[in-house]
Structure 1
């Protein structure tokens, strides 16, 4: 039975979406149908299509009571908007239907588990948000919330657990037909996030198994949006820590991303990390979620935004806010998470322009190398091996007034993205740096540019730096700069849906 709250949201988004033209949106990155978007939810393959749900407030381009928006795709690049899937319409979730996941049940139904949020008076006289886990089942279009909701509460957590920070369930099906779920939770004293593991035989009745992994203050404070999967012979935990402190070039201040590679111990039901790294080293990437595609690929998508900048990055306020990253194929190589744009993006390539062995210093422009929806591949080598260049930069979304730049200093082996000249009028984060692998000034860069974003893949996916930009769309120049002599191969494609 569809609630009035959900019917209202569906009518509103259907009417207001007609006021947003394709030219006002990214070309191939997903944006909300209307209003506000944040975390990806329920990333799944169901009824022969990829389904993606997302944290959604249709009524404004700022955060509000969370609904679940809904899109489907055959190729992860062409997305069809469907009506909102769920809305905050029950006593246990009226503050919002927060993040969660989706699986297919044996009867063919799709099952959601999501975090329901309500307010509750506290003994000290204050009012706090209480977070619990809830279920809904449906057919890929309409969903019915479980009458037993909430199905996981503070009673289902270990001792010393906070009822205020218990969220973001990620489910998966095991080989024996049972189900597992991880959620994040803070200790009652607020000393750090941890990942809780639950088990179910049918997807509906869940029991606590273990504290799978504790933060213990190593990576920020509270964790959000956990994911857990096996990949290339290893087990992987992805999570988004809040309030990070920097660690050399590996992590940045604020809300960040974390990948832990290691092994899950079946006896103790705990995860044993062997290595750690950031998932994205740029400015705008958070709350990633993965799906296993029918062909076995592990594919990840993330919210292409930063909580510290999202309220004031786009001025004047637009008809929509928030984008998802390009979906990325994951692998592990030499103990490191590797990310590459989904191979389907190659089907969008047109108008190839190629240059080989271009040697230059100072400023350079190349005929046919421009655009705001571009796949740009660069291979750099020193033009003089006896005197390696000091700096290389590529500038894009450029005209006489604006540009965003990616620069590389080989002696430091540091890559930087810088959007301070992109048109922003606010003192937000404009630069991020990453320590990358380079030998004698050699490096490979792949820039995926859309109208309002840039994703830079380094050395075939060893590092990725992501940033949103809201530069005037007419600024479409691309140029190069070298302090010293650089030899460069360039391949540029236009990207069109």
Structure 2
């Protein structure tokens, strides 16, 4: 396994050490899976963004590569923010948001003063996916937006690129201020290119009330429907839940013109645990649409040097008009060795499969899953020292005899409900070796053989 040390997850990618956040540039390229990610390599805290890089044959075993992107230009001197990847004529094209701070605090030059900076869009080309000439192969493709009616000078970012017919397209997230609203309105910007190098603006869509700044937009077709994923800032303002959250919905979309239509009610959170953020999707070796998100942490576990991890890869489907996300078969197929509940070591990766009925309960080293009044609740209050997180998460009302698969890794629990109808992921303190369950049927526990 890629992370053999006992103080790291085995199946959830972390950095070697220090801070990571959004997955970037996910792609299956030249028979390898490439995962780039936002990375501050000098401390377990947010700072000047680089692109970390890992590769895999199977999305299970990951190998760290040298840092792929780092600041070298005036336009990206303070960070290479999130973006995506595409293959063009055998080369790997990476697109990212380039950042230049307008002012910096005297005591910490790695962050912008008052969160004000210039955001533009840039790219770099690699011939093999491993070598990146940050000094000679970068180019600025979309300058910072000056027109306030079009988008925001600072908060326009996260280019997701795709190919359709004979053209290439970029979707960007931004926000605008309307005269009749006190709050910002979220907005999408679309650009088009013949060669994936020179880009022109072609369309936009905005909607008030779905948070405001729409980070990490991703639009794709699956099972004959278009799915749009967004990570709106200020999605929740209740003072209880994290403010920024990943959402998705089925939308009306015309790919050639990028005409877009949707309503606020078309969307729901991607992951009920609300730790899952900034997901990005790509096509795997078998042609499945796969999504991976950042599972947020706001401080390291005690005596640990790394912060943040990636989710398990999830296959996205649309069934009966609903978006379904299930753990990727490369992960689920690992768990073939059935073990007795009394001989579980929660320091190892395990999978629980069970059918819940009302008043069912599972206690995983202090992390509690319950099914009461036809609602599943995940409760991490006893095993979480993270700040400003949702300690309890619940589904809507479900039918009785609810099937779940629970994947436990070091410091994280992912609960897949009714074959991907809902997912609930929670960062937890590394759990102790105790597992209890009551009032369940078809309860089985598996480890990796």
Structure-to-structure mapping, 1:5-44, within 5 angstroms: 22-44=5-27
Q: Does 1:229 align with 2:223?
A: no
Distance 1:267 1:172, change over 3 A: closer
Distance 1:103 1:458, change over 3 A: same
Q: Does 1:200 align with 2:200?
A: no
Contact 1:120/1:127, CA 8 A, preserved across alignment: no
Q: In structure 2, what is the equivalent of residue 379 of structure 1?
A: 355
Q: In structure 2, what is the equivalent of residue 6 of structure 1?
A: none
Contact 1:156/1:208, CA 8 A, preserved across alignment: no
Q: In structure 1, what is the equivalent of residue 121 of structure 2?
A: 133
Q: In structure 1, what is the equivalent of residue 442 of structure 2?
A: 489
Q: Deviations 1:337-360 (Å, cap 9, x if unpaired)?
A: 101111012342242148xxxxxx
Contact 1:282/1:432, CA 8 A, preserved across alignment: yes
Q: Deviations 1:66-93 (Å, cap 9, x if unpaired)?
A: 0000001111111111111011222111
Q: In structure 2, what is the equivalent of residue 216 of structure 1?
A: 208
User: Aligned to 2:229, which of 215, 235, 238?
Assistant: 238
Distance 1:174 1:156 in 2: 29
Contact 1:187/1:193, CA 8 A, preserved across alignment: yes
How many pairs are equivalent?
429
Q: In structure 1, what is the equivalent of residue 172 of structure 2?
A: 183
Question: Where does structure 1 lack aligned partners over 5 or more consecutive residues?
Answer: 1-19, 355-365, 382-388
Deviation of 1:232 after TM superposition, in Å, equals 0.3
Deviation of 1:442 after TM superposition, in Å, equals 1.5
Distance 1:318 1:89, change over 3 A: farther
Q: In structure 2, what is the equivalent of residue 276 of structure 1?
A: 267
Q: In structure 2, what is the equivalent of residue 443 of structure 1?
A: 402
Q: Deviations 1:152-209 (Å, cap 9, x if unpaired)?
A: 0245878342111110000011122x11110111115661221111101001001101
Q: In structure 2, what is the equivalent of residue 301 of structure 1?
A: 292
Secondary structure of the equivalent of 1:331? strand
Question: In terms of mean alpha carbon deviation, does 161-170 or 137-146 score higher?
Answer: 137-146
Distance 2:232 2:102 in 1: 26
Deviation of 1:252 after TM superposition, in Å, equals 5.2
Distance 1:140 1:30 in 2: 19
Q: Which runs of 4+ in 1 moved over 6 A?
A: none
Question: Where does structure 2 lack aligned partners over 5 or more consecutive residues?
Answer: 104-112
Q: In structure 1, what is the equivalent of residue 427 of structure 2?
A: 468
Deviation of 1:253 after TM superposition, in Å, equals 4.9
Secondary structure of the equivalent of 1:161? coil
Q: Deviations 1:193-250 (Å, cap 9, x if unpaired)?
A: 2111110100100110100x31312x21211001010000001110111111379xxx
Q: Which has the larger radius of gyration?
A: 1
Distance 2:115 2:10 in 1: 43
Distance 1:193 1:478 in 2: 44
Distance 1:100 1:425 in 2: 27
Structure-to-structure mapping, 1:78-93, within 5 angstroms: 78-93=61-76
Distance 1:446 1:417 in 2: 13
Q: In structure 1, what is the equivalent of residue 92 of structure 2?
A: 110
Secondary structure of the equivalent of 2:165? coil
User: Aligned to 1:416, which of 363, 377, 380?
Assistant: 377
Distance 2:138 2:42 in 1: 29
Secondary structure of the equivalent of 1:345? helix
Contact 2:352/2:407, CA 8 A, preserved across alignment: yes
Q: In structure 2, what is the equivalent of residue 58 of structure 1?
A: 41
Q: Deviations 1:12-47 (Å, cap 9, x if unpaired)?
A: xxxxxxxx9622211111011221110000000111
Q: Does 1:393 align with 2:361?
A: yes
Distance 2:46 2:148 in 1: 31
User: Aligned to 2:246, which of 238, 246, 257?
Assistant: 257
Q: Deviations 1:418-437 (Å, cap 9, x if unpaired)?
A: 11111528575322222142
Distance 1:94 1:201 in 2: 29
Distance 1:245 1:424 in 2: 21
What is the root-mean-square deviation of aligned Cα atoms in Å?
2.6
Distance 1:147 1:72, change over 3 A: closer
Q: Deviations 1:283-322 (Å, cap 9, x if unpaired)?
A: 31000000112321000000011xxxx334x353521111
Question: In terms of mean alpha carbon deviation, does 185-194 or 112-121 score higher?
Answer: 185-194
Secondary structure of the equivalent of 1:56? strand
Distance 1:72 1:466, change over 3 A: same
Distance 1:233 1:344 in 2: 24
Q: In structure 1, what is the equivalent of residue 106 of structure 2?
A: none
